[in-house]
Structure 1
Amino acid sequence: MPIDAAQLPELAPEHAAEQLATRMGIELLTITLDEVVGRMPVAGNRQPYGLLHGGANAVLAETLGSTLSALHALPERFPVGLELACTHHRSATEGYVTGTARPVHVGRSTSTTEIVLTDHAGRRVCTAKLTCLHRDTRPLVT
């Protein structure tokens, strides 16, 4: 049975300051079973030539896709990323990159999500596909 966003588990207090999404400036804007939307600033996430770093696109995509998988899998199962593929179509140079994650497949043991990232002008900058494994047990952190 899927859960709603209010039921997402709280971060362990000892890891709250270490969240990559927070460091990257990612904000979640919409969280539903059909769609997770978030954005990330270009500023602070650039590569040496001044463009948005491709790895930053991947972080945004995985954050949005994993959140969507969590909505479908929790609380009985725990999603972990299994495969992420990103195709970078163009460079973002200013403003925010906005991502929209939508489910392609939601099963008991896996889910696959397509994530489309667009720049401040609405142009597609990246298309990503994330597959998550839904584990029976919560991953242990030591």
Structure 2
Amino acid sequence: MQLTKEVIIAKANEACKNTLMETLHIEVIDYGDDFLVARMPVNSRVYQPDGVLHGGATAALAESVGSFASHIFIDTEQFFVRGIEITANHLKSIKEGFVYAKATFVHKGRTTQLLDIKVTDDANNLISVCKLTTISLPKKN
């Protein structure tokens, strides 16, 4: 099977079944040579008590899209990916619609990867800026 853009997106979304990503309705929607985009609906499932998007849900979206991006760019037969550090600066509140997380690489090393993740709303307003460090570790045979 050829790994087209559509196949990669479908495989990423299939991997979300029975995970936090499915619980939060996170969906991978776009992919390119140096980026990956996912979206998450903003509704009561991801609210903090005062009715706006919870920062933890935003961080879960950012870590999900960043980890998927690292996963796509490694040999998954030989290695697995784990997030080792995430930071999130929340800049704006949102109550409805979708948030979109676009992960791009700052550093794409053999062992560690650093990703910049911008989270925006439907109108492309910046909601959060996140950084994720991932590590690629060899699978044990």
TM-score by structure 2 length? 0.85
Task: Report the AA paired with residue 116 of structure 1.
Answer: K
Report the secondary structure of 1:61's partner residue. helix
Evaluate the alpha carbon distance shift between residue 34 and residue 4 of structure 1 in structure 2; reply closer, same or farther with a 3 A threshold. Answer: farther
**What RMSD, in angstroms, separates the aligned Cα atoms of the two structures?**
2.1
Where do 1:109-128 residues align within 5 Å?
109-128=111-130
Where do 1:102-141 residues align within 5 Å?
102-137=104-139
1:29 is matched with which residue? 29
% identity of equivalent residues: 35
2:93 is matched with which residue? 91
Residue by residue, what CA displacement relative to the aligned partner does 1:57-110 show, whole Å, maximum 9, x if unpaired? 001100100010001123232110010010001111110001111011001101
Is the contact made by 1:34 and 1:103 (CA closer than 8 Å) also made in structure 2? yes
Where do 1:5-84 residues align within 5 Å?
6=7, 11=15, 16-17=17-18, 19-43=19-43, 44-75=45-76, 76-84=78-86
**Distance in 2 (alpha carbons) for counterparts of 1:16 and 1:41:** 17
Residue by residue, what CA displacement relative to the aligned partner does 1:18-54 show, whole Å, maximum 9, x if unpaired? x001100111101233110111011121111000000
Is the contact made by 1:4 and 1:33 (CA closer than 8 Å) also made in structure 2? no
Task: Report the AA paired with residue 34 of structure 1.
Answer: D
- Any unmatched runs of 5+ in structure 1? none
Report the secondary structure of 2:46's partner residue. coil
Residue by residue, what CA displacement relative to the aligned partner does 1:111-134 show, whole Å, maximum 9, x if unpaired? 111000011221101000000011
Structure 1 residue 4: Cα displacement: 6.7
Q: Which has the higher strand share?
A: 2
Report the secondary structure of 1:66's partner residue. helix
**Distance in 2 (alpha carbons) for counterparts of 1:16 and 1:119:** 24
Report the secondary structure of 2:73's partner residue. helix
Task: Report the AA paired with residue 38 of structure 1.
Answer: A
Structure 1 residue 16: Cα displacement: 4.0
- The count of residues paired between Structure 1 and Structure 2 equals 132
Report the secondary structure of 1:67's partner residue. helix
